[in-house]
Amino acid sequence: MRQSPEEGLSEALEALEVFDRPVPPVSEEVWAEINRLIAQLLTRPDPGKTAALARLAEIRKTWEGRGLASQLDRFAPLSPADIRDLAVRVGEIAVRLHLAGEEEASAAERVETANIDWLHACDKAGGFLFEPSRRDQSDPPRLYSGFWYASRQSEPPFLLPDMEKDREWDSKVALLLRRKHLAVPPYRVVQFSTAGSQTRDLRFFDHGDSIHDGLCKGWLGFGSPLFACLPQGELVVKVGASHPALEWRERLLLLTIAASRPPEPLSPGTMQDFASALDWFSASARQSYLARLDEGLTADRRWLQTLLPARFLPKASVLSALCRA
C-alpha cells in the first residue's frame, strides 16, 4: 500500500536495518528520537520523509561495531556437519596414537585412567594442585606425579592425611599412577632436586593409600549435605504396547539426565561489582564501559544460542545382574 502508515513503518525499520541485525542497547534519548521520527513517517509521510529516513540511517551507522557481532565470530562458521567432521578427524588421530583403545585396556588400566582424570578434576575444582609426569632427578626417564594443596592463601575443601597444610609445595607427595610404570626392581623414593637434598617416598595411588582414601572420604563428606536426602518426585512415562522399552519391564535401570541451556545474563549484583571496581572512572566513562560490556556479553550469548540451543538429554542403561550384585 503506497503512502500508507504500514509503508512508512516498513521503510523506517529498513533504514534501521532491524531485519538484518539486532539492535544494541541505546539511550533513552536515542529511543525518543527514533520514536519521534517513526511517528512523523506514520502521521505525516510526505513532508520531511527523506530527511527522517536519512536521520534513521545515520543513527544506525552509530551502532556499527557496538554489540552487533560477538568476539567469538572468529570461530565461525561452525555447523553440526563441521563439528562431526572435526570429531571424526580427532578420533582418527586418537586411534593412531592409541588413545581411543579403551576396549583394549584391562580393568585395572581403566581404573588407573579414571584415577588420573579424578586428580585432574581435583586440580580444576581448586584447593589442590596436581602435576603429572614429573621427572625423578635421580633417574630422569622415571616419572612420578606431584600432589599438594593449591596454596597457603586458599583453603582446600578438606585436609588430607600425610599432608600438613602449613607446609609449602616442596613438601608435596609423590604418586605413582600406573602399574606399568613400576620399575624392576621397584624403587621406593624419588628425588626432587638434582642435588639430592629433597627426596620423597613414592606411593601408589589406589585403594589403601591414605591420599586416595582421604580424597574419597573428603569428597563424599563434602557432597553429602547436598545429596543426603533423596528427592521426592516421580516421573511416569506411558508407552505403547509395542514400544521396545517394555523389554526392560521389571528390570533395574540407571537413568542419566543431562541438560544444556544458554548462558544467563550477568546478575545485577555482578554488574554492580563491576561498577564498583570502576569507581575511579568518571560517571560517563563508567556508564559507557558497562554499556559496551553488556552489549558484548549479549552478542556472545546470542552467538552461543545459535550453536548450542537448550537441550534435554535423558539416557537409560539396563543394569545387569552382575552390576546389581
Averaged pLDDT, groups of 10, the chain, 325 residues long: 71 82 75 88 77 88 67 64 68 57 71 89 86 76 83 78 68 85 78 69 90 91 71 71 84 74 73 78 81 79 75 73 44
Residues 273 and 311 in one domain: yes
Query: Coil, strand or helix: which one is 199?
Result: strand
Are 148 and 169 in contact, with CB atoms under 8 Å apart?
Answer: yes
For residue 212, being part of any structural domain is answered with: yes
Rounded Cα distance between 128 and 126, Å, is: 6
248 and 142 within one domain = no
Could you please report the per-residue DSSP string of 286-307? Answer: HHHHHHHHHHHHHHHHHHHHHH
With H, G, I as helix, E, B as strand and everything else as coil, classify residue 3. coil
Q: Could you tell me if residue 167 is inside a domain?
A: yes
Out of 13, 30, 61, pick the residue that ends a domain.
Answer: 61
Give the residue ranges of DSSP H helices in the chain: 5-16, 28-43, 49-61, 80-96, 107-125, 210-227, 268-277, 283-307, 321-324
* Residues 223 and 113 placed together within one structural domain of the fold: yes
User: Residue 80 falls within a domain, yes or no?
Assistant: no
Same structural domain for residues 206 and 252? no
Same domain for 112 and 48? no
Regarding whether 275 and 173 lie in a shared domain, the answer is no
**Whole-model pTM over 0.85:** no
The pLDDT score that the predictor gives to residue 325 is 40
Same domain membership, residue 305 and residue 212: no
Q: Which amino acid is at 154?
A: S
pLDDT of residue 100: 46
pLDDT at 171: 67
User: Mapping DSSP to helix (H, G, I), strand (E, B) and coil, where does residue 1 land?
Assistant: coil
Please enumerate in sequence order all residues whose Cβ is within 8 A of that of 44, keeping only pairs 6 or more positions apart, or say none: none
Q: Are residues 212 and 105 in the same domain?
A: yes
140: cis peptide before it, omega within 30°?
no
Burial of residue 12 (number of CB atoms within 10 Å: 0-12, 13-18, 19+): buried
Domain coverage including residue 132 = 101-227
Supply the pLDDT for residue 126: 80
Count the domains in the chain: 3
Grid coordinates representing 131? 602435576
What pLDDT was estimated at residue 211?
A: 92
81, part of any domain: no
Q: In the beta sheet, which residues pair with residue 257? A: 314
User: Taking the C-alpha atoms of 24, 27, 32 and 38 in order, what is their torsion angle to the nearest 10 degrees?
Assistant: -20
Question: Distance (Å, rounded) from C-alpha 148 to C-alpha 69?
Answer: 43
Neighbour order of strands in the sheet with 199-204: 128-135, 143-149, 173-176, 199-204, 189-191
Rounded Cα distance between 109 and 116, Å, is: 11
Tell me 264's DSSP state. Answer: P
Residue 120 lies in a domain: yes
278 shares a domain with 169:
no
